[in-house]
Amino acid sequence: MMREDVFEVAGVTKETPPVVLTVAGFDPSGGAGVVADVKTITAFGCFAAAAVTSLTYQNTTGVFGASHQTAEAVRAQVIPVVEDFKVAGAKTGMLPTREIIEEVARLFRETELPAPVVDPVVRSTSGYDLIDDAALDSLKRELLPLARVVTPNIPEAERITGMSIRDRGAMAEAARAIRGMGARAVLVKGGHLEGRALDVLDEEGEVTYFDAERVVTTSTHGTGCTLAAAIASCLARGHNVVDSVALAKRYVTEAIRTAPGLGRGHGPVNHSAVASF
């Protein structure tokens, strides 16, 4: 008797892939946002579903503007997915307005969506502000308490906490402060510091440091989106948070190392890098 989570194609039996939902902005150049998320989720053997929060106008050299969706439009995208699929993992990215943040938080509270990986997108790699203060306050109040993992880089962690972060001790302090806002785990990414690539995870008070060789490159467009989507995919496949972060970090490092060299600015990574899961 065939199990419900298995299907057969041309005599080959395969497990049904876990569904991972991303709620994020659209980057037409393909390096960040939902396009990067979909490629990453697929690389980890999961099935990607997506809801778009904003249509951005960007390439590797910068962000030139955006047309935000309404909160109602975001809900209208998500509800049919959760009514049809059992979603095993979720990730949020660019949530540009207070109304969208509050609606996304409401969706996670009211449906069977799993606790999300929240990438608190504040500013693009090129320096374009993607969220205002009112939206940030709503993010802290409404969404962070629902998060399984929050993944700020150092500028994002500084803006959320009001702290100055210059070393690993301050990274750990910031992670603890953000976890105090309600998140179960916080990963502060150290890519903006010099030296080796150091990330600090605080999961319910247990601190883990992830240290890796830094790849010196300008191909860093969408790395935050990619890491968060990879973590969400690993969680959907049943890994714990520490292992999910380790696997995701390894994938992103390889994706950066083998970047295709596209564009005239901060180029995209190689989302076709082989993922270990």
The residues that are catalytic are 189, 220, 222-225
Largest CA distance in the chain: 59
Separation between Cα atoms, residue 170 and residue 148, nearest integer Å: 22
Closest CA relative to residue 38, chosen from 30, 137, 83, 251 = 30
Separation between Cα atoms, residue 46 and residue 20, nearest integer Å: 7
- Intra-chain end-to-end CA distance of the chain, in Å: 27
- Burial state string for 201-214 with b = 16 or more CB within 10 A and e = fewer than 16: bbbeeeeeebeeee
Closest CA relative to residue 186, chosen from 196, 171, 198, 197 = 171
Tokens coding 23: 């709620």
User: Tokens 């502000």 sit at which residue?
Assistant: 129
Residues near 115 by beta carbon (within 8 Å), at least 6 away in sequence: 90, 108, 146, 147, 148, 184
